[in-house]
Each structure stands twice: as C-alpha cells, then as structure tokens.
C-alpha cells in the first residue's frame, strides 16, 4: 500500500515539478488531525475498514454482527467507542465478506448501536449483580466462596441476560452473598472491668462500656456484657436482663426471656436452665444450650415492671409481696436490695427489663440511691439502642435463614416428584426444623368420599423425642390414640371451614385431658383450583411458647409448597400411568389379535358336543384330553348347559368370536395359557352342575364367575406379581403392587368385552351389566393367593361354626372367592398323571422366571424357581398341597360332601409325592454308598 502511495506521489512530483516525499505527507497529516479525520470519513469505504480490522486482529463488521447476535457467543467484547468488535487471531482471512449496505444482510448503524447498548447494559448489570448488598469491597481472590453453595445449581449462576430468569434468581438467593456482621464476645470479665473503672474513672469507663455494647450485635453476648456492666457501674453483686418476647397485642402470649441469667457476679459462667441444670466451664467462657429462662407476663417484680413501666427500688426485697424467692432458693442466694427498671426503644416501647441485686454494703448502706437510678436510667438508654440494633440483625439473620430454607424447600419440591410420601416428608422435616416444633402432621383428604374423611396420615416426631421411647407403656399408647383422634377432629374442622387454627395450651387441654399438647397450628392445604386437599399441623414449639403471627405466615408458605408438591407429584404419577398404559397397550396389540372371520366361520361349522360325552360334569376331568378346537367347543357346550346363552340372549356368532378372541389373548407360556383357563372353567362348571351349587347363586353371578374363570389369566406373561414389583414393570406403574396381574387380567377382559362383536353382555340392562361386571372383577381378583390368605380364615371359621347363610351377600361373595381359588388350584386334586404333568409345567414356568431374576434382576430366586434346586420339587409340592390346597378342600367338603373328591384327590397326590421323596432319598444314599 505504501509502495502504491509512493508511486502516486512520484507522479504528482513529475506533474507539478514539486519535490514532495511520503514522509512529508505523513508529517503534515499528523500535524492536521482534523483534516485527516474529515478526509477519512468522506472517502473511506467498508472494504478498507474490514481490511484494517482484520489486519489488527479483529473480526470484520459482518462477522461481528452475526456473532454478536448469537446467544452462544463467548468472545471478548469491548463496549468502547460505540462500536463493539471481537478479537480474532491475526491469521484471520483478509478477504472476509463485508457488510452489504442495501442487501439482505444489511444492518443499519442505529441497529448496531442499539445491539451494542443492550450488550453494555447486560455487562454492567452482570458486574452489579456480583456485588453484595452489605459488602464494602468487591469480591477478590482472597474472599472465600460460600461453602454452602449447592452443587446442583452451579451451572445456573451465570449472568448472561436481562432480565434474569426465575431459576437464576432462585440460585442467587440460595447462594446469597450477604454476610451478616458477627462480633466476638468480649473477653473482659467483671473483675477486669472493675479494675478498668478504677484506672479510667467513671466517665471514661462509662464511654468505654457504651462503645463496647454499641458494636455487639449478638443478643447473647450483648446480654452478658450488659449484665457485667451493670454489676460494675452500680457496684452491686448481681444483675440480670430479660427481653420482652411475644406479639405486642394480647398479654397472654407475651413473656420475658433471659439469654443470660446471672444471680451472683462471683459465680462466673453459671446459667440457670429451665430444667434446673447449671453449666460451668472453669476458666473459660460460659457454655449453654439453646434453653432460655422464661418468666410469664406480669409475674414477679420483673413482670410488674414490664407490664407497668415503673421503676422498683427495694431496700428489703423479701418484704415486697411481688418478690419471688424461687431463684434464691435454687441457687442458695439471698437478695436484700433490688433495683429494677424497664428498657425502652425510640418509640417508648418496653423491649426489656434490667435488674440489679445487692448493692455493695460498704456504699450507701447497701441501698440503691437516686444517683444509682439516674446512672441506671442513662445506661439503659444506650442499652435500648444496642438491643434494638441486635434484634434487627437477629431478625435479618433469621429472615435470611427462613428464606434460605424456603428456597431449599422449592429445590426439593422440584427435585423429588416421584412419590407423594417423599415430597410431604421432606417438606415436613424442613417445617419442623425451621419452626422448631416437636411434631408435624399432614392429613390428605379422601376425595372419593362425600363426607370429610382422610385417606393418608403423615406424622413426624422430633428425633429427640424418639431416642428413648421405642417401647411405650399402655397408658402412653392410649394417650397417643387420644391425641390422634383429637388431631383428626381438628383437621376435619379445618378441612370443612378452611380456617386457620392456632391453639394454645389452655385451649388444647379443653379438648383432651393430659394430651401433652401445649400449642398447635393447623392450616388447610389447597391445590391449584383452591380446593382443600389436606390439612397440615405443627405441634408444640420447642421453647414451650405458642405459635405467633410470624409462625403462621411462615407455615402458610409451607402449606403452599406442600400443595404444589402434591399437585406436581400427582401430575407426574398420571403421566407415568399414561406412559405405562400406552406401553402395555402396545405390548398387547403387538402380541394379540381378535378373532378373524375365517376362524369364526370354521368353528361355526363344527358340532357342539354334549357335556356328558366329554366328562365335563366330573371333578376328575383329564386336563390334557382335548385339543384347542375341542376346548373351544367344550366351552360352548358349558355355556349352553348352564343356560347362559338362553337366559341372556347371547348370539351364537358373538359367543364364538368372544371365545376365540379370549383364546388368542393368552400367551404361549408353559402353564398359565388357554388350556389352564379352560380347565379352571371346567372345574367351576363341575362344581355348579355336578355338585348342585348353581342354585346357590343368581344367574348373573353364575355368568360372571364362569366368564371370570375363562378370563382370569388373560395376557399372563409367565411371571408372578412379585416379579413385576421387583422389575418395576409398566404393570406395576399402572396398577400398583397390590393384585397387579389380576387387575391387568380384569382390564384386559373389559377391553375384549368392550370391542365390537365381542360383548356377550350386550343384551343386559345397565343394572344387570353393573352387577355382572362387579362379580367378574371380584372373581378375577380372588385368584390372587394374597386375597386367598386374607379371606380363608374367615371362611374356615364360618364353615366350622355352620352359621353360614349364602343368602347374605357378604358370605356369598366370600364363597365365590373360595370357589374361584379351588378351581384355580384344582390341578392338585386331579389324577396322579395329570397332577404330575401340570406340576412339571408350573415348574418350567417358575424356572424361567427364576432365570430372569438371576440374570436380569441379579437376585437369588426362591427355591421353587431355582433351576439348581429342581430335585426338591417333590418336597415343595407336598408343602404346597398340605399348607395351601388341602385346608381349602377340607372346608369345602364339610360344606358340600360332593366336593370331598377334591380333598381325596389332593391327599392321594400328596402321598404320591411322598413316594418320590423316599425314592430320591434311597437313590441319594445308594450313590453315597
């Protein structure tokens, strides 16, 4: 470029015959910057500007604009001079594209300045956000980072945009950089201060102690200093300071609290605790717990001064009727003279009461004079200012802690949404810790009931009340039950009215005798629609005082969070269920299909055999005697023999299509397949027709039970309920851990019955349809052995007492359940060759599940499902028949002698299994020999 300029200058010299060199031109431009700038602005082009920027290590204007508008830009931006640029490597291409002034990629100068201005504001705002409200200097390398910063929110604490997002504000508040001032306790004791007073004089010492308390913002250490100063200033033996605690309105909740209670200036480090225990550390600072001395409002001389604002000066304290000598008796101390005066703030409100005891007997005859009162009053004016400042700082610190805890609750709320129990327990734990109460409880309203009832109770006791209370005596247990009933009654009151209950000890004792409740706060929990979904309660503040207005406001925030947590968890649960339902539906649709017209036409042409010809009336029916088509026609025959087709006007094609569809909706598993479903239905048919039990039930009940037998294992996967729970399958998410597979079987049956041309209940009225569906569900759920174990003792007692009446609905439904179980387990009552083959099929299915548990779930399977323990099958079968099957068949035989054949068959099979055990034992001994 300089060479070109030199050539031009040379040409100019030739034309004008003037000797002008390049150095002369540069010197002239340097000496006339205004002319240079004017020429530059008039003549310069964008290409030249871009070349200059690139040659000096910056992006060209076009590249800068694209990077500046990108949210992912992380360059070093300089907001100076109105036009921001971004540094790049010097090796950047000199031929980078420039701005098209009037093209599609053009950007006006005003737009550039506007973008730059926003970025500058963001930059300034980000720097301002890093400054602490109360910090006097910027954060440097020597300032430690807050140790309590939450690791899960580290990535959120970046100031990259205006305005800040809610989550960034939350992280900032959680990791607040506000540092509340803390001052150490003064190391001067009373003796040192007495010496200091003699050395400085009374005036200078007074200024020293006033300056000392003015810089202490911790109430406990401040109280200690005030007590010491009073003993030195007034030359007395003891002093004490009590702060006013409680709301300004209503004296019932107000009291006097002493952070430090010193009744003898010579007994350094002694504090009177509520339980009468004294703590003393020789040669060091006093050590105390959070326990505080509390005096009721208006009690004693302290209470009188606090309530009236009068000054009390007694030469002989014990002669005054207001004086309480309880402390003297506990501490072995005698109070003669006494001076008590209120401490007021700038609004002339009493915020504390100070008291000094036992004037030095060598001064003024051991009595407090008017000069002492004046000095006392003067010092207490500064004490009022110091206490007010300390209380403001304490309130700020408490507010900071409360806000931090509330923000932690919000964090936990959105961190844990998989379980209502976990969400509520976390919120209750934080509420109990923040509100400092013994107990917290949450009761959830049962929305399925018209009246106010509760479906769940969450009760959390303070850990310190559970250490030595693992074993409760009978009286404690009865009282606990009474308290629970009392809490439930209060919760019902809150749930019905929506009011907030704040009850003190007197009101609590009116509701229940000797309840141990001295304060209670209960509030309703509402959902997003402002409907009451529960009641939250906190009981007994640890300091034994009632809950105040501030507690109510704070607890209200917890109830709001609790409602949000419950709502979010329920929504999350619904989403999980919807996903599980979709997954199960896809599995079902991918595995099963309805009956085709070709299959229906083929079966319609087959003759229906007589039930007698197939031995269907017999409980000794051979389970493996029929093939698939024969089982379909046998099922049609049983429908006809039971009179169900005629009674309920079931169309022939609908019945055939229904049976084929049910058959196809059983999976190809070793045992729980279509053959097993047919065999269960055959046993129920034999019980109804061959054992004269049909008349015990109505026609609708017979229909529901028989269809229930055919559908009771629909879509069985070859694994039991325990496996579904261990594997956390979609079925568990959808139906829960109770009767998981049975609920799925029933819902699958409902799905089939709801399909077009498959509803064999289509001719029923609405009432009859409701009845038969109730029976169908009851029958299928009864095939779960857990239900059998819950009901069988009740059935056995009923049979033994012979007081049963099948006309009663509850007893008849109990009989239905037992007959469903007896039909489901009937393979153990069949002939030996049938029982042995069925047992082998069941074992094969169990072993497949055991393999899944061992290799997929990485757990040890039970003996019945362990492939390595197949040789134990005879012993396991004996135990199965003896413990589960035989008691049921014995009870049924007592009820109906025709059912004794099932008991006899089970006993015979148990005998056959015993022979195999003996053979295995002999073979094992022979091998050993």
Question: How far, in Å, CA of 25 to CA of 15, rounded?
Answer: 17
**Catalytic status, residue 56:** no
Asked whether 686 and 678 are in contact (CB, 8 A), the reply is no
Do the annotations mark residue 877 as ligand-binding? yes
Do the annotations mark residue 674 as ligand-binding? yes
CA Rg value for the chain: 45
Q: 60-63: list long-range contacts, CB under 8 Å, 24+ apart.
A: 60/96, 60/97, 60/98, 61/98, 61/99, 62/96, 62/97, 62/98, 62/99, 62/105, 63/96, 63/97
Catalytic residue among 304, 672, 745, 778: 672
Give the per-residue SS3 of 418-459: CCHHHHHHHHHHHHHHHHCEEEEEEEEECCCCCCCCEEEEEE
Do the annotations mark residue 264 as ligand-binding? no
| Torsion angle defined by CA atoms of residues 703, 705, 709 and 711, in that order, rounded to the nearest 10 degrees | 70
Asked whether 624 and 597 are in contact (CB, 8 A), the reply is no
CB atoms within 10 A of CB 696: 17
Angle at 121 between CA 116 and CA 122, to 5 degrees: 95
Do the annotations mark residue 712 as ligand-binding? yes
H or E segment and range at residue 71: none
Do the annotations mark residue 716 as ligand-binding? no
**Packing angle of the helix pair 652-664, 740-753 (nearest 10 deg):** 150
Asked if the peptide bond before residue 163 counts as cis, ω within 30 degrees of 0, the response is: yes
H or E segment and range at residue 176: none
Asked whether 429 and 460 are in contact (CB, 8 A), the reply is yes
Nearest by Cα to 261 from 213, 302, 224, 207: 224
Nearest by Cα to 261 from 220, 318, 314: 220
Nearest by Cα to 184 from 217, 137, 141: 217
| 517: its two tokens | 């409740």
H or E segment and range at residue 721: helix 721-727
Beta bridge partners of 686: none
Burial class (CB in 10 A: 0-12, 13-18, 19+), 712: buried
List CB contacts of 322: < 8 A, sequence separation 6 or more.
Answer: 300, 301, 304, 312
Q: Within 13 Å and on the Cβ side, how many CA atoms surround 392?
A: 8
| 799: its two tokens | 């049979």
What does the DSSP assignment read for 98-138?
Answer: ---SSSTT---HHHHHHHHHHHHHHHHHHHHHTS-SS-SS-
| 519: its two tokens | 């304060």
Angle at 112 between CA 111 and CA 113, to 5 degrees: 90
Question: How far, in Å, CA of 461 to CA of 469, rounded?
Answer: 11
Question: How far, in Å, CA of 447 to CA of 450, rounded?
Answer: 7
Asked whether 270 and 264 are in contact (CB, 8 A), the reply is yes
Q: What percent helix, strand, coil does the chain show, rounded to 5?
A: 60, 10, 35
Sheet containing 437-445: give its strands across.
454-461, 437-445, 532-541, 519-526, 501-504
3-state secondary structure of 920: helix
| 215: its two tokens | 């810089």
Question: How far, in Å, CA of 179 to CA of 533, rounded?
Answer: 40
Binding-site positions for Zn(2+) read 676, 712-713, 824
Q: Residues annotated in the binding site, as ranges?
A: 672-676, 712-713, 824, 877
Please identify every residue annotated as catalytic.
672
Which residue positions form the known binding site for AMP? 672-676, 713, 824, 877
């Amino acid at each position: 470029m300089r060479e070109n300029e030199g050539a031009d200058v040379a040409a100019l010299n030739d034309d004008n015959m003037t000797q002008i060199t390049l150095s002369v031109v540069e010197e002239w431009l340097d000496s006339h910057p205004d002319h240079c700038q004017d020429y530059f602005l008039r003549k310069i082009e964008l290409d030249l500007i871009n070349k200059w920027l690139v040659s000096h290590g910056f992006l060209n204007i076009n590249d800068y604009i694209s990077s500046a508008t990108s949210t992912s830009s992380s360059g070093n931006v300089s907001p100076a001079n109105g036009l921001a640029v971004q540094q790049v490597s010097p090796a950047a291409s000199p031929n980078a594209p420039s701005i098209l002034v009037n093209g599609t990629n053009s950007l006006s100068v005003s737009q550039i300045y506007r973008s730059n201005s926003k970025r500058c504001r963001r930059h300034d705002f980000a720097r301002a956000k890093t400054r602490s409200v109360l910090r006097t200097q910027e954060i440097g390398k020597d300032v430690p980072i807050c140790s309590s910063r939450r690791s899960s929110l580290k990535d959120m604490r970046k100031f990259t945009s205006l305005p800040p997002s809610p989550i960034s504000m939350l992280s900032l508040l959680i990791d607040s950089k506000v540092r509340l001032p803390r001052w150490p306790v003064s190391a001067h004791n009373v003796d040192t201060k007495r010496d200091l007073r003699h050395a400085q004089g009374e005036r200078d010492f007074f200024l020293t102690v006033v300056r000392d308390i003015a810089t202490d913002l911790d109430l406990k250490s401040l109280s200690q200093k005030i007590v010491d100063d009073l003993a030195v200033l007034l030359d007395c033996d003891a002093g004490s300071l009590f702060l006013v605690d409680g709301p300004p309105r209503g004296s019932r909740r107000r009291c006097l609290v002493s952070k430090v209670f010193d009744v003898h200036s010579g007994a350094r480090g002694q504090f009177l605790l509520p339980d009468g225990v004294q703590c003393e550390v020789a040669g060091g600072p006093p050590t105390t717990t959070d326990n505080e001395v509390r005096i009721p409002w208006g009690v004693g001389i302290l209470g009188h001064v606090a309530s009236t604002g009068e000054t009390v000066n007694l030469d002989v304290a014990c002669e005054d009727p207001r004086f309480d000598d309880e402390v003297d008796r506990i501490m072995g101390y005698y109070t003669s003279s006494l001076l008590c005066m209120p401490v007021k703030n700038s609004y002339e409100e009493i915020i504390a009461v100070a008291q000094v005891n036992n004037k030095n007997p060598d001064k003024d005859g051991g009595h407090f004079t008017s000069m002492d009162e004046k000095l006392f009053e003067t010092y207490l004016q500064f004490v009022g200012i110091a206490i007010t400042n300390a209380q403001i700082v304490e309130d700020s610190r408490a507010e900071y802690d409360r806000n931090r805890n509330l923000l932690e609750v919000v964090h936990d709320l959105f961190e844990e949404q998989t379980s209502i129990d976990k969400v509520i327990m976390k919120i209750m734990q934080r509420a109990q810790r923040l509100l400092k109460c013994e107990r917290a409880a949450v009761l959830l309203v049962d929305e399925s009931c018209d009246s106010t009832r509760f479906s769940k109770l969450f009760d959390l006791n303070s850990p310190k009340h559970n250490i030595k209370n693992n074993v409760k005596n009978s009286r404690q247990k009865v009282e606990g039950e009474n308290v629970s009933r009392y809490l439930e009654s209060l919760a019902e009151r809150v749930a019905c009215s929506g009011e907030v209950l704040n009850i003190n000890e007197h009101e609590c004792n009116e509701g229940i005798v000797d309840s141990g409740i001295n304060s209670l706060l209960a509030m309703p929990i509402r959902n997003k629609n402002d409907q009451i979904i529960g009641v939250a309660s906190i009981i007994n503040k640890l300091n034994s005082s009632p809950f105040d207005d501030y507690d109510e406001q704070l607890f209200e925030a917890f109830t709001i969070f609790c409602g949000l947590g419950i709502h979010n968890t329920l929504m999350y649960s619904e989403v999980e269920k919807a996903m599980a339902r979709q997954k199960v539906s896809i599995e079902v649709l991918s595995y099963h299909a309805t009956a085709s017209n070709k299959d229906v036409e083929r079966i319609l042409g087959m003759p229906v055999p007589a039930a007698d010809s197939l031995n269907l009336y017999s409980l000794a029916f051979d389970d493996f005697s029929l093939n698939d088509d024969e089982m379909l026609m046998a099922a049609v025959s049983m429908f006809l023999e039971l009179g169900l087709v005629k009674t309920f006007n079931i169309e022939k094609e609908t019945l055939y299509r229904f049976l084929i569809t049910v058959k196809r909706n059983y999976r190809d598993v070793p045992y729980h397949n279509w053959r097993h479903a047919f065999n269960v239905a055959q046993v129920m048919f034999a019980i109804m027709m061959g054992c004269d039990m049909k008349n015990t039930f109505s026609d609708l009940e017979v229909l529901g039970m028989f269809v229930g037998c055919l559908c009771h294992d629909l879509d069985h996967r070859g694994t039991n309920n325990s496996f579904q729970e261990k594997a956390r399958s979609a079925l568990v998410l959808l139906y829960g851990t109770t009767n998981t597979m049975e609920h799925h079987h029933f819902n699958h049956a409902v799905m089939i019955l709801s399909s077009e041309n498959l509803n064999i209940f289509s001719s029923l009225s609405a009432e009859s349809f409701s009845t038969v569906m109730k029976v169908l569900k009851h029958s299928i759920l009864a095939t779960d052995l857990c239900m059998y174990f819950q009901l069988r003792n009740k059935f056995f007692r009923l049979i033994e007492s012979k007081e049963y009446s099948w006309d009663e609905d509850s007893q008849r439904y109990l009989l239905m359940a037992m007959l469903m179980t007896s039909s489901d387990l009937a393979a153990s009552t069949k002939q030996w060759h049938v029982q042995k083959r069925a047992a082998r099929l069941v074992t094969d299915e169990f072993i497949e599940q055991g393999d899944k548990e061992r290799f997929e779930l990485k757990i040890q399977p039970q003996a019945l499902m362990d492939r390595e323990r197949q040789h134990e099958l005879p012993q396991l079968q004996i135990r199965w028949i003896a413990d589960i099957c035989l008691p049921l068949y014995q009870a049924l035989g007592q009820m109906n002698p025709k059912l004794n054949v099932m008991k006899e068959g089970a006993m015979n099979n148990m005998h056959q299994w015993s022979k195999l055990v003996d053979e295995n034992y002999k073979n094992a001994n022979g091998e050993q020999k």
